[in-house]
């Protein structure tokens, strides 16, 4: 039997107290927006991930096909312009930043992301990036998870130089860290029709083991660089995105085989978050259940105000899933808040508002063992 280390005994007691104190939040999610705090709930917000959270890093990567810095992307963003976000407006992490009271973390590779600009956090997310270094090669250049971690190492060095090691350590241990990875490891690797080498090399279960093993090392590295409070989001229902519908759906329903692959990965990811919390002193890894949050909207969209679940608002081809969202497209919906998907791959701002809300204040079915609001009250 596993013997619980003293720091984990204290953590379990603290967790129990937090969950008991906030038990009403674990029963239901209010339909009303949660109030924004007068003061930030975390000193900084550091984001790792793919195009679901990229806020403009790929704008600065010359040789990449994964860019969203052209309209109509950003049409509903506060600035009403394309910023590099693969969305009509805010990403789920923009919404989360609103709730925790912090400005949107700037792209890590932007020239201005130096000095005092990094003190509230940075966004390392990159369109086409994945857990595996080779993932997304079909888009030429991108920032893999390992490359994002290398950038974070540079950030830590800068913080140490600016604040001193003690203050930098304190900032990092109390900051919020999130990771949104894995989608491209399937869509732009394992499921890629132009590249069968990965599928020929690994069975689905072997591939899950490879991803989880690699991810374990990566998250541990971020921990060793000073992070303590993590949210690791699972992969959404890829079999329901317009690009996969265009390839494998006859009637517009989700591609079950794709979703089965994703569920296998997600099933292994949750125990990983528990393992890391157990084995890394003073850490807490939350498991964000994006899959069910999005799939629920697809199965029962109307109560949340959605009407179109199997077609991109912007794009072209079947289900608007075969052509990217570009200024020349003649398919751009006007009722964007009623669409689940913005383009062939990404959700609309309306969905991101749901995801951000549920990760911040949702029950344990959305995010476990606590939500981000509760995590902000936890002192490690």
> Would you name the residues annotated as active-site residues?
51, 343, 346
* Rounded-to-integer distance, Cα 121 and Cα 34, Å: 22
Cα–Cα–Cα angle for 267, 272, 275, rounded to 5 degrees: 135
Retrieve residue 284's tokens.
Answer: 């807490």
105: nearest Cα among 89, 122, 118, 91: 122
- Alpha-carbon distance values, 223 to 62, 172, 220 (Å): 31, 10, 5
Helix (H, G, I), strand (E, B) or coil at 313: coil
**Closest to 287 in 3D by CA, of 334, 238, 231, 335:** 231
- Which residues fall within 8 angstroms of residue 146, CB to CB, at 6 or more apart? 133, 218
Q: What angle do CA 241, 244, 248 make, to 5 degrees?
A: 135
Query: Rounded to 5 degrees, what are φ and ψ at 21?
Result: -65, -35
């Amino acid at each position: 039997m596993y013997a619980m280390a003293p720091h984990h005994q204290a953590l379990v007691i603290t967790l129990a107290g937090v969950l008991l104190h906030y038990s009403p939040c674990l029963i239901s999610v209010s339909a009303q927006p949660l109030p924004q705090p007068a003061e930030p709930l975390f000193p900084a917000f550091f984001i790792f991930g793919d195009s679901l959270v990229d806020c403009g890093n790929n704008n600065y990567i010359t040789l990449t096909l994964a860019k969203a810095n052209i309209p109509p992307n950003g049409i509903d963003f506060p600035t009403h312009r394309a910023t590099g976000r693969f969305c009509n407006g805010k990403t789920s992490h923009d919404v989360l930043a609103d709730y925790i009271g912090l400005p949107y973390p700037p792209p890590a590779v932007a020239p201005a992301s130096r000095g005092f600009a990094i003190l509230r956090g940075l966004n390392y997310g990159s369109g086409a990036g994945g857990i595996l270094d080779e993932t997304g090669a079909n888009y030429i250049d991108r920032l893999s998870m390992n490359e994002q971690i290398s950038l974070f190492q540079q950030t830590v060095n800068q913080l140490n130089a600016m604040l001193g090691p003690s203050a930098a350590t304190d900032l990092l241990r109390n900051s919020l860290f999130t990771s949104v990875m894995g989608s491209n490891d399937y869509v732009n690797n394992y499921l890629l029709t132009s590249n069968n080498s990965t599928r020929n090399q690994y069975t689905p279960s072997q591939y899950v083991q490879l991803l989880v093993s690699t991810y374990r090392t990566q998250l541990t590295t971020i921990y060793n660089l000073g992070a303590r409070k993590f949210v690791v989001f699972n992969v959404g229902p890829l079999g329901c995105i317009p690009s996969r519908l265009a390839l494998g759906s006859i009637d517009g329903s989700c591609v079950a085989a794709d979703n089965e692959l994703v569920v296998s990965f997600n099933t292994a990811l949750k125990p990983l978050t528990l393992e890391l919390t157990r084995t890394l002193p003073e850490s807490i890894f939350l498991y964000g259940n994006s899959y069910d949050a999005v799939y629920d909207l697809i199965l029962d969209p109307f109560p949340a105000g959605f009407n179109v679940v199997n077609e991109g608002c912007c794009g072209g081809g079947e289900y608007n899933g075969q052509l990217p969202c570009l200024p020349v497209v003649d398919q751009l919906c006007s009722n964007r808040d009623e669409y689940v998907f913005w383009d062939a791959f990404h959700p609309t701002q309306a969905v991101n508002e749901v995801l951000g809300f549920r990760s911040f204040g949702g029950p344990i079915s959305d995010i476990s063992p606590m939500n981000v609001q509760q995590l902000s009250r936890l002192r490690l």
